[in-house]
């Protein structure tokens, strides 16, 4: 079944211990759609300026992503993010954020998109996330991503948005901040009490935790010896997870447990290259092979 993503489209400048890459394609909507297209039909809603290279638009179109919701704003600039990672590369340090067209991003979905059953509302203004959630008439499962900036600066709007969706995904520090507890499980239970049925918390190289209807499940990350660039790991984790859920239509606890494995594996490919480079090389068969390996060394 179809899957919608609403989120940033970016030109990123990224520095890791492996080097610097300038103005490469990034943004949550791009990472998500390139990861999730292995599983199902993708519909993208995003905004770019007239400085966004046409080759990136062609790349997304050539991969079968429906771009009816892509708005190119004349005379305006694309969102740009400059970040760096040091040492263990577990934290992204933001050096510069130039919102540009993303500043006034409040999209009206094309009529061909409003019946989409599954959706990912990537990290962004919670007022926009709630606005999009309200336009999805036939939804089966909508997942919302957020970050500290909104937890600290727009908590009430975020809680309103959370009540409108079916699931929330965030990292462990964000869950502790929103849930108001240093204990992760306690914090997760507090977040669920805000009015969400399914909560997924990412813990970077330590894997992820799922809490749904009071039941807990945890998975490790896929062990990798070399990480080149962690950018997009969170969005592509969500892409494997939601891709699998949209493909299977299974929103049960067992379905989400399997979906967590797919999220883990798609994210593991992302970090093996700069930006989208590694993700663009892989096939569904590569994903399945790595899922099999993952199951073999997590089963006991
Ligand atoms: P992640 O999966 O969390 O590593 O997301 C990485 C992508 O998020 C990068 O390609 C950035 O372009 C994008 N990004 C960074 N900051 C923001 C922001 N404030 N709003 C929307 N997207 C952002």
Quick one: which atom of ligand 1 is closest to the CA of 12? Answer: 12
89: domain range?
3-298
CATH value at residue 131? 3.40.1190.20
Cα-based torsion angle of the residue sequence 124, 126, 129, 134 in order, rounded to the nearest 10 degrees: -170
Rounded distance, CA 263 to CA 241, Å? 4
* Number of domains comprising the chain: 1
DSSP 8-state secondary structure symbol assigned to residue 183: S
pLDDT band at 111 (very low <50, low <70, confident <90, very high): very high
Separation of 114 CA from ligand 1 center, angstroms? 25
pLDDT number for residue 297: 86
User: pLDDT tens across 191-226, in order?
Assistant: 999 999 999 999 998 999 999 999 999 999 999 999
Residue 179 near ligand 1, beta carbon < 6 Å: no
Helix, strand or coil for residue 105? Answer: coil
Task: Please give the average per-residue pLDDT across 48-72, as a whole number.
Answer: 98
Pick the residue whose CA is nearest to atom 3 on ligand 1: 234
233 pLDDT higher than 90: yes
Separation of 299 CA from ligand 1 center, angstroms? 33
Q: Which of 234, 228, 221 is nearest to 271 (CA)?
A: 228
Separation of 28 CA from ligand 1 center, angstroms? 6
299 pLDDT higher than 90: no
5 pLDDT higher than 90: yes
pTM of the model: 0.97
Residue 232 near ligand 1, beta carbon < 6 Å: yes
Q: Residues of 30-57 as b/e, b for ≥16 C-beta within 10 angstroms?
A: bbbbbbbbbbbbbbbbbbbbeebeeebb
89 pLDDT higher than 90: yes
User: pLDDT tens across 263-297, in order?
Assistant: 999 999 999 999 999 999 999 999 999 999 999 98
Pick the residue whose CA is nearest to atom 6 on ligand 1: 232
Rounded distance, CA 64 to CA 34, Å? 10
Separation of 127 CA from ligand 1 center, angstroms? 18
Backbone angles phi, psi at 56, to 5 degrees: -70, -40
Separation of 147 CA from ligand 1 center, angstroms? 10
pLDDT band at 28 (very low <50, low <70, confident <90, very high): very high
pLDDT band at 300 (very low <50, low <70, confident <90, very high): confident
Proportion of the chain above pLDDT 70, given as a percent:
100
């Amino acid at each position: 079944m179809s899957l919608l993503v609403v989120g940033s489209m970016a030109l990123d400048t990224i520095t890791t211990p492996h080097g610097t890459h300038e103005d490469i394609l990034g943004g949550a909507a791009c990472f998500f759609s390139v990861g999730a297209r292995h599983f199902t039909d993708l519909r993208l809603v995003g905004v770019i300026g007239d400085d966004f290279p046409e080759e990136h638009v062609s790349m997304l179109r050539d991969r079968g992503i429906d771009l009816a919701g892509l708005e190119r704003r004349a005379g305006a600039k694309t969102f740009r993010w400059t970040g760096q990672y040091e040492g263990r590369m577990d934290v992204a340090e933001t050096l510069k954020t130039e919102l540009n067209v993303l500043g006034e991003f409040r999209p009206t979905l094309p009529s061909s998109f409003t019946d989409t059953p599954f959706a990912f509302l990537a990290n962004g203004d919670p007022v926009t996330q709630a606005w999009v959630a309200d336009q999805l008439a036939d939804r089966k499962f909508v997942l919302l991503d957020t970050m500290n900036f909104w937890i600290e600066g727009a908590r009430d709007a975020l809680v309103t948005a959370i009540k409108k969706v079916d699931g929330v995904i965030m990292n462990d520090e964000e869950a502790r901040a929103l849930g108001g507890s240093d204990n992760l499980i306690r914090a997760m239970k507090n977040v669920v009490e805000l009015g969400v049925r399914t909560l997924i918390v990412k813990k970077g190289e330590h894997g992820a935790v799922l809490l749904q209807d009071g039941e807990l499940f945890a998975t490790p990350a896929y062990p990798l010896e070399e990480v080149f660039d962690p950018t997009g790991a969170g969005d592509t984790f969500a892409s494997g997870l939601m891709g699998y859920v949209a493909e299977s239509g299974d929103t049960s606890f067992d379905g989400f447990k399997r979906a967590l494995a797919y999220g883990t594996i798609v994210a593991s490919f992302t970090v093996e290259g700069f930006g989208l480079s590694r993700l663009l090389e892989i096939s569904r068969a590569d994903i399945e092979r790595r899922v099999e390996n993952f199951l073999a060394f997590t089963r006991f």
